[in-house]
Amino acid sequence: MAFTKEQLKSFRSDFELATKELSKKYGVKIQIGNITYNETSFTSRLTVEQIDGTTGDKKIDLKKFDLYKQLLGLNCDQGYSFRDSKGLSLTVFDIDSKKYKNPIVLKCTNGKEYVASVDYVNFMVMKNQPAVK
Could you read off the pLDDT of 77-119 as tens digits, one per residue?
888 898 888 888 889 988 988 888 999 999 988 888 899 999 9
In Å, what is the CA distance from 23 to each residue of 7, 29, 60, 67, 72? 24, 6, 18, 30, 34
Contact 76, 66 (CB under 8 A): no
What is the per-residue DSSP string for 55-107?
T-PBP--HHHHHHHHHHHT--S-TT-EEE-TT--EEEEEEE-TT-SS--EEEE
H-helix or E-strand spanning residue 116: strand 113-116
- Predicted confidence at residue 88, as pLDDT, reads 83
Check whether 54 has a pLDDT greater than 50.
Answer: no
Q: Find, among 84, 74, 76, the residue nearest to 109 by Cα.
A: 84
Cα distance between residue 94 and residue 74, in whole Å: 11
What letter would DSSP give residue 27? Answer: T
For residue 120, the SS3 value is helix
Each residue of 4-53: pLDDT tens digit? 889 999 998 898 889 888 888 888 888 888 989 998 899 999 888 877 54
Q: Find, among 63, 51, 5, 58, the residue nearest to 24 by Cα.
A: 51
- Predicted confidence at residue 63, as pLDDT, reads 82
